[in-house]
Structure 1
């Protein structure tokens, strides 16, 4: 999980300001404990442990369940998160200051065109959509419900809503998503060269190291046993170039894309058959993987 270091996330950040809560996390790393066991291990009362557990649970770090024990009902605690990454820079390398912006979430099933080749498939949180490894089902009307999709090579393309008005032009664009390679079943050593294009211009290429499935995805439904989660990546296009996770990857600037009022904005995710590592694409929505989001887009304009 990636977390912006901002005041709106204080409920999570405050969890690490207490030595007792950090010690609890250390204990739960070994396995589940009930309230009494935590209290005994920490040398504090059960009432104090209960308060700390409540704070950790509200922050999404710990999950609890009530079980019937020898002496009545007991609350068992376990870690919900495996990792938490703190992001200090919460926008593109050129920070938003006195300019206005808007943000949208694009469901991953809401692509407007595609050209995919097997292995490929679509899932909603409840079921498979169509047949696996048959690209025809990427045209099935139910594809808009997909929250996990994958393909061995090819592309999916999205139309980003354009809310710019008048003479406004985009000053920067930031797109974040959860993504990884695509191997049959899964293979964590399966590199893939994934290309991101905006308005027909390739702005960045990133090599994903693998297709991850050895650990359960936090939000992946229990019935799905193949690819579990991806990596959270942030693509930023600014006046100074294009960046992935703050690292400059190309000299394509926001001016090159001509993102302005009244123009279509197209975003394409592709793995070319001619790539050095043609390892496919797996794309996660909020119902799968480790991050409860779809494709998140922020467009900053030049209006004052």
Structure 2
């Protein structure tokens, strides 16, 4: 992951100003730890350690999941990124070359082109709920394009991705970055869901989300919203080496198998079928909900 050194990214940069947080990253480089184990290793209280982990999680550097242990629920912590490159200067020539070789589009979560959903389900803008709760008919409501948050217990939503390739250009990379989690009534942080990603009808990866998160308020979630608060930021990447989620290979599907070329329809489907081993639904977050101020971001490299 590349990160510009700007004030817009202070949440990440501030994590490295603390020796304790750097030591936490060193420990998590070795293996996963729970809060108590990290606190004991660094000689801190669990309350203080929880605050450090929260900052690292909000910055997207650490991922956590709640697991049932011998003494109740434990929060298991793992590193979310393998590497982070700080960009101190953007060379104009490099930027122009990058612009010629790739394009990025942001898709609002409510701008899907097809859907099939089953309750619990619904949509919300940053200002209000859209239509009636648990009524799939409102996924056709014209206001759906204003949605910053949507959820469903099973089914799919599909997005048409603008294809700006020209001539003989063919995609050499396809990347999707989004905030996502499971869908439980109200919320349940121990609610696994098998979420499948497909491009042009070809299933490329299935990832099991650990839960539906609501125990603390999302950074950008409106104050009036009381249910699911935020998701996990995940990055799906398809290259000639295979399909990866957050740098971990999930399948051998290669970009050449998708045959993404100029003039071709480009569809991204996010689903949780009723037949999944863990049918725990899907919640998606746009820039007005959750912990990350972005919509579904798609980048295509040529």
- 2:272 corresponds in structure 1 to 271
**Separation of aligned partners in 1, 2:131 and 2:165:** 37
3-state secondary structure, aligned to 1:255: helix
TM score, norm. by length of structure 2 = 0.73
CA contact (8 A) 2:15 2:55 kept: no
- 2:59 corresponds in structure 1 to 84
- Would the alpha carbon gap of residues 7 and 132 (structure 1) be closer, same or farther in structure 2, given more than 3 Å must change? same
TM score, norm. by length of structure 1 = 0.73
Shift of 1:89: 4.8
Shift of 1:81: 8.5
**Separation of aligned partners in 1, 2:16 and 2:212:** 35
Deviations 1:78-123 (A, max 9, x none): x998632345357xxxxx9977100000000000010000000000
- 2:299 corresponds in structure 1 to 298
- 2:261 corresponds in structure 1 to 260
Higher helix share: 2
- Would the alpha carbon gap of residues 213 and 253 (structure 1) be closer, same or farther in structure 2, given more than 3 Å must change? same
**Separation of aligned partners in 1, 2:9 and 2:296:** 25
Alpha-carbon RMSD: 2.5
**Separation of aligned partners in 2, 1:89 and 1:174:** 17
CA contact (8 A) 2:109 2:295 kept: yes
- 2:72 corresponds in structure 1 to none
- 2:156 corresponds in structure 1 to 155
Count the aligned residue pairs.
Answer: 237
- 1:208 corresponds in structure 2 to 209
CA contact (8 A) 2:194 2:278 kept: yes
Larger Rg, first or second structure (1 or 2): 1
Deviations 1:207-257 (A, max 9, x none): 000000010000000100000000000000000110000000001111111
**Separation of aligned partners in 1, 2:168 and 2:153:** 41
- 1:25 corresponds in structure 2 to none
- 1:166 corresponds in structure 2 to 167
CA contact (8 A) 2:104 2:300 kept: yes
Shift of 1:258: 1.1
CA contact (8 A) 1:103 1:296 kept: yes
